[in-house]
Amino acid sequence: MNAAIHQADGLARNARACADGPRILVFTSVYPNSVQRNFGLFVRARMSRVGALLPMVVVAPVAWFPLLGLIRLVKPNFRPAVPYFEVQDGIEVYHPRFFSIPGYFKFLDGFFLALGSVSTLLRIRKSFDFDIIDSHFVFPDGHAASLLSQWLKRPFTVTLRGQIAALSTTTMRKYLSLGALRRAAKVFSVSESLRQGAIAMGESAEHIRVIGNGVDLDNFAREDQNQSRARLGLPREARILISVGGLTERKGFHRVIATLPELLAKFPDLHLVIAGGPSPEGDWEQKLKRQVVELGVEGAVHFLGPVAPAELRYVYSAGDIFVLATRMEGWANVFLEAMACGLPVVTTLVGGNAEVVSSPDFGILVPYGDGNALRDALATALSDDWDREAIIAYAKSNAWSTRIPILIEEFSRIDQAASSIERGDAVVNSWRDT
């Protein structure tokens, strides 16, 4: 571990030397690692671009429990062992462990997250005197960041992502989350719907700024459809639905699969391609495969497993329509990724989906849980003649280059406000008023 820390110290000094502006410590329990490469890509996609312009270190704690070895005998991929230190795209990433009992006492996760991380932050601060702690997800990460902010006398921010509705139903977590939001120097939200959820919890509307996610136009652009299909072993002459995400209940792949028998009666050449694997939310792969067999649609459904971000453009480009029958999203990056590859989107009217699929020219929104509406929307989408160039142009208007300067501006404003006052308890209580 000492060698890793020494290497990280050197990287931190280099980052500090080569960039101006506030030094950011990103704090999130949802971030990719060498074991879970597709975990939290949406956080890295956002913050790695900030890290290209500002000095940045990432602390991404991992949950730990003394009996994990026994649990893994039943669930082999449960909370896999993650290295303490990694370098990703030139940014050092730490993974300290924090105590977390699986399934129980979750209101304590924020406290243990902070307690398990504080020694790492203190060690980092010796060579990388960070100015701002930037947390993602209000609980447990935002609550932990609020504690670390008080202990280390640094301002912190919270980025709202798709969990506000769930937090509002749990008294203790709602209380702790609202306290973190009110103590934050600034609250960011990836969608207006999440902002409204935080306001409904009791947070001030003026304290939250919506900065949506963007799309990486270097990674996502339309490739030749025939070549993309050949690359994936898909039939050249077919109608193809694409769906991408972790194989969990929330993403709703089972809801899409349930529409196939009726859709196949109308479109015999229809295929559904699903790209994704297990996630910390769960693993429904075997359940989904059983459903496919039970419905007798084996020949029409293709499970690609996890796909590297650099390869996803070919998955999107192989399709005609993108579909995600999700139960909840804050701001789903996959929509803009698919649109950048020319695909219209069929999805559910939940969370921030209507903010991304903001026009009938870009896709169709259906009520969540309405299987008939989903089936009919897919039939309509498959039959319509979409203006794919207009869809691509819309995606380009949502490039990351339109988002990151706003974040940089906000971080600079927070740092200037904090540096104008002598650091101490007074600073923690004054950030919101500055």
Q: Are residues 415 and 373 in the same domain?
A: no
Residues 285-315: tens digit of each pLDDT:
999 999 999 999 999 999 999 999 899 999 9
The pLDDT assigned to 424 comes to: 52
The pLDDT assigned to 104 comes to: 83
Q: Specify the number of domains making up the chain.
A: 2
**How many residues belong to the chain?**
434
Residue 423 has pLDDT above 70, yes or no: no
Residue 78 has pLDDT above 70, yes or no: no
- Note whether residue 218 is domain-resident: no
Q: Convert the chain into a string of H (helix), E (strand) and C (coil).
A: CHHHHHHHHHHHHHHHHHCCCCCEEEECCCCCCCCCCCCCHHHHHHHHHHHCCCCEEEECCEEECCCHHHHHHHCCCCCCCCCCEEEECCEEEECCEEECCCCCCHHHHHHHHHHHHHHHHHHHHCCCCCCEEEEECHHHHHHHHHHHHHHHCCCEEEEECCCHHHHCCCHHHHHHHHHHHHHCCEEEECCHHHHHHHHHHCCCHHHEEECCCCECCCCCCCCCHHHHHHHHCCCCCCEEEEEECCCCCCCCHHHHHCCHHHHHHHCCCEEEEEECCCECCECCHHHHHHHHHHHCCHHHEEEEECCCHHHHHHHHHCCCEEEECCCCCCCCHHHHHHHHCCCCEEEECCCCHHHHCCCCCCEEEECCCCHHHHHHHHHHHHHCCCCHHHHHHHHHCCEHHHCHHHHHHHHHHHHHHHHCCCCCHHHHHHHHHC
Residue 262, domain extent: 225-396
Q: Are residues 13 and 139 in the same domain?
A: yes
Residues 240-289: tens digit of each pLDDT:
999 999 999 999 999 999 999 999 999 999 999 999 998 878 899 999 99
Q: Are residues 70 and 159 in the same domain?
A: yes
As a whole number, mean pLDDT of residues 18-28 equals 86
Residue 103 has pLDDT above 60, yes or no: yes
Q: Are residues 204 and 233 in the same domain?
A: no
Q: Are residues 278 and 329 in the same domain?
A: yes
As a whole number, mean pLDDT of residues 126-135 equals 97
Q: Are residues 341 and 412 in the same domain?
A: no
As a whole number, mean pLDDT of residues 338-359 equals 96
The pLDDT assigned to 335 comes to: 97
Residues 199-242: tens digit of each pLDDT:
999 999 999 999 999 999 999 999 999 999 999 999 999 999 99
Residue 11 has pLDDT above 60, yes or no: no
Q: Are residues 180 and 289 in the same domain?
A: no
- Note whether residue 172 is domain-resident: yes
The pLDDT assigned to 164 comes to: 78
- Residue 61 · residue 349 · CB < 8 Å: no
As a whole number, mean pLDDT of residues 169-174 equals 86
- Note whether residue 158 is domain-resident: yes
- Note whether residue 375 is domain-resident: yes
As a whole number, mean pLDDT of residues 317-327 equals 97
The pLDDT assigned to 183 comes to: 97
- Note whether residue 120 is domain-resident: yes
Residue 2 has pLDDT above 60, yes or no: no
As a whole number, mean pLDDT of residues 418-430 equals 56
